[in-house]
Amino acid sequence: MNGKLTPFVVSTSASIVEALELIDKNKKGFLIVVRERSEVMGTLTDGDIRRAFISGVSIDETVAKIYKRDFTSLLYKDGLSYAIDLFKNRAIKFLPIVNKENKLINILTKSQLHSLLLQDIHADLKYDFTSLDESIVDYEIFQRPWGFYKTTVYNEYFQSKVISVKPGAQLSLQSHDHREEYWIVVHGTGTVQLDQSVLDVRCGSSVFVPIGCKHRLSNTDPRESLIITEVQIGEHLGEDDIIRYEDIYGRV
């Protein structure tokens, strides 16, 4: 068994305390339960342990008394397409990957699968999924004076965002040296300045912002937010590729 899987594996003879220590260490909230020679017997989650305590199970009991024997697994020869189908079941958050002897050879979580696909990494079920940066599927919301944005996908090919502009607010007049942008308005009304042109936009409007073009997005509605989806394509997609010319919030 791959040594990187050790924090996710517990023996049927281990104590519940040992299982809790492993879950605390791996930060994923689950364990694969095995017996001698890594044969997969079931799964155990922090929720399973909590429910066992509620039902009166002692902390001194072994994992054998509380683990879940009804579980879904993948055969190592199965493709990622099969994993995608299995994860459509919202109750499934992780999958043990086993060989034909039902011995554990890998583990795949739902967020790891999403990270793999969104980064266009070509892999089979023997891939080291622990090496993936899972944070790319759960970006934070960043507040700005005009509203907020949230990145939805960021990889070496493109970045996509949801941008929400408060009523009456506007972004700075700016340009980019290394990327072009594609906007689709999904809610609200506003204006877009592209160099010397000003366009009225509403739900369904699409806008192309070329590299080097001075542009600004404004919300003209006094009550509703203006929300757009943005896709960036270019050699550099960082927030440092912003040249500001005018800004009502004093950021020039």
The CA distance from 57 to 69, in Å, is 17
What is the length of the chain? 252
Q: Looking at domain 3-135, does it have CATH number 3.50.50.60?
A: no
- Please give the average per-residue pLDDT across 101-124, as a whole number: 92
Q: What is the DSSP letter of 113?
A: H
Segment among 6-20, 113-127, 159-173, 210-224 with least mean pLDDT: 113-127
| pLDDT tens, position by position, 34-52 | 997 789 999 999 999 999 9
- Please give the average per-residue pLDDT across 137-147, as a whole number: 90
Give the predicted TM-score (pTM) of the model: 0.79
| pLDDT tens, position by position, 53-98 | 999 999 889 999 999 999 999 998 998 999 999 999 999 999 999 9
> Which residue, among 92, 125, 107, has the nearest Cα to 5 in the 3D structure?
107
| pLDDT tens, position by position, 217-238 | 999 999 999 999 999 999 999 9
Which pairs with CB-CB distance under 8 Å and at least 24 residues apart come from 120-129? 120/155, 120/157, 123/80, 124/79, 124/80, 125/74, 125/76, 125/77, 125/78, 125/79, 125/80, 125/83, 125/97, 126/76, 126/97, 128/2, 128/4
* Overall fold of domain 139-246: Jelly Rolls (2.60.120)
Asked whether residue 149 carries a pLDDT value surpassing 80, the answer given is: yes
12 within 8 A of 37, measured Cβ to Cβ: no
What is the reported pLDDT for 1?
A: 63
Asked whether residue 174 carries a pLDDT value surpassing 80, the answer given is: yes
Each domain of the chain, given as residue ranges in start order, spans 3-135, 139-246
